[in-house]
Amino acid sequence: MFKKILIANRGEIAVRIVRACAEMGIRSVAVFTEADRFALHVKRADEAHFVGDDPLAGYLDPRRLVNLAVESGCDAIHPGYGFLSENAEFARICAERGVTFIGPAADVIHRMGDKTQARQSMIAAGVPVTPGSEGNLTSLDEGLALADEIGYPVMLKATSGGGGRGIRRCDSADELRQQYPRVVSEATKAFGSAEVFLEKCIIDPRHIEVQVLADAHGNVVHLFERDCSIQRRNQKLIEIAPSPQLTPEQRDYVGELAVRAAKAVGYENAGTVEFLVVGHEVWFMEMNTRVQVEHTITEQITGVDIVREQIRIAAGLKLAYRQEDIHFRGYAMQFRINAEDPKNNFLPSFGRITRYYAPGGPGVRTDTAIYTGYTIPPYYDSMCLKLIVWALTWEEVLDRGTRALNDMRLQGVTTTSPYYLEILNCPEFRSGRFDTSFVPNHPELLHYSVKRHPSEVALAVSAALAAHAGY
């Protein structure tokens, strides 16, 4: 087993990995830029190393991070999610320097990160994919011809894209002509590659993803599915495990497809295979070669510690579980509490947290890196925390989610939590029958009023009285 792991990330996922290392008796090493000098992951790790004044550069320099790992005596690096987590060059440099990358091999990251190569691999493995280009588009004219063949609407996507970026829906030839140069430009700026491909747009699908674990000994298992259909502009907001919308037969089918996909590319470590589902039809969308933000809800329903398994697999150990050992119980739901104002087009709301109280009680978990007095910097993702709830039934998890959101106190910044309360109260959502069109089809849910808790009113009155008295 590893003795020391460098965590090439920040925020709540860095704290999550620190906790896993502590439980396994492994020393953890954090990295931080000036903007993160007072961040929680820096306080919680066994060691912390400064990587520069620039808020981003230090987290995005693979060679510097690997050199730091070697200099500080680390035998492994965990990339978390985001930043360099799906960077094949990072994994390659780790291998060159004799530092274990806690993730798949560089060639697998490259193959699955290139969306056209991923599609080709899935076709060869017999995993269904949406109709589209066999490779990258060579020109706009090629895209127009293909769109005429498969029919509009179509999706124009960056080949190296991810995180909801570099994607445009085109409902006509005119829209395709307009969007093509925009996607090429966005892909070049965001991912360093101008390559794009085209595929049939599946109208109002359910977004279903399957968590897989694979070791170096040929063992591959799935940990069932998550429903990520509640999203805005391809950015997930609420995730659910298992999906309340799948039949047992569909669940078995997508699980088997995910295992087949992982085996087809020689996958190792934790990964997620994402599908679009309409009725009984299932299409492969992409594979994420890292731990997911929403891994928490899979942990809640299965009891499997996914980060711990990542570390064990990277150390060369066999999976601790066989497929027949893995079962799920109840439902789990994750709310991404973002520092954004839903009523103002989800405008980011960075600033100082004046008060933070984490909800608790049965079946409630919070993964976060914030605390009272912490200032959320404007350079990173706006997610403050992940609120996770678990219960035995669908109705109970809805009620628990409502209670936990109402329990939470996060003041100083505007967050998405009041909006999530509106979603939980929506009859369509409560029925368990929804798809990716839910958020755009329910703009009325944004017309909420923020109710102040009595404790907040009391604090405000006390502060006003103190100010008036000159205290």
The residue annotated as part of the active site, out of 10, 290, 336, 400, is 290
Q: Is there a catalytic annotation at residue 329?
A: no
Q: Are 32 and 42 in contact (CB under 8 A)?
A: yes
Burial of 368 (0-12, 13-18, 19+ CB in 10 A): buried
Cβ-based burial of 459 (10 A; exposed 0-12, middle 13-18, buried ≥19): middle
257-268 core/surface letters (b: 16 or more CB in 10 A; e: else): bbbebbeebebb
Give the angle subtended at the CA of 22 by the CAs of 225 and 305, to the nearest 5°.
Answer: 15
CB 47 within 8 A of CB 28: yes
Radius of gyration, alpha carbons of the chain: 22
Please check whether residue 349 is in contact with residue 377, taking contact to mean a CB–CB distance below 8 angstroms: no
Query: Could you give the CA distance from residue 218 to residue 52 in angstroms, rounded to a whole number?
Result: 41
Dist. CA 243–CA 207, nearest whole Å: 10
Angle subtended at Cα 279 by Cα 278 and Cα 285, rounded to the nearest 5 degrees: 30
CB 386 within 8 A of CB 64: no
DSSP annotation string for 412-437: SS--SHHHHHHHHH-HHHHTT---TT
Q: Are 381 and 316 in contact (CB under 8 A)?
A: no
Cα distances from 269 to residues 195, 359, 390, in angstroms, run 28, 32, 26
Structure token digits, residue 360:
């608790």
Of the candidates 207, 205, 115, the residue with the CA atom closest to the CA atom of residue 165: 115
Q: Assess contact for 155 and 169: CB atoms under 8 A.
A: yes
Cβ proximity of 152 and 172 under 8 Å? yes
DSSP label at residue 84: T
- Distance CA(231)–CA(204), nearest Å, equals 12
**Number of helices (H) and strands (E), helices first, in the chain?**
16, 22
CA gap 409, 369 in Å, rounded:
15
198 beta partners: 156
Catalytic residues: 290
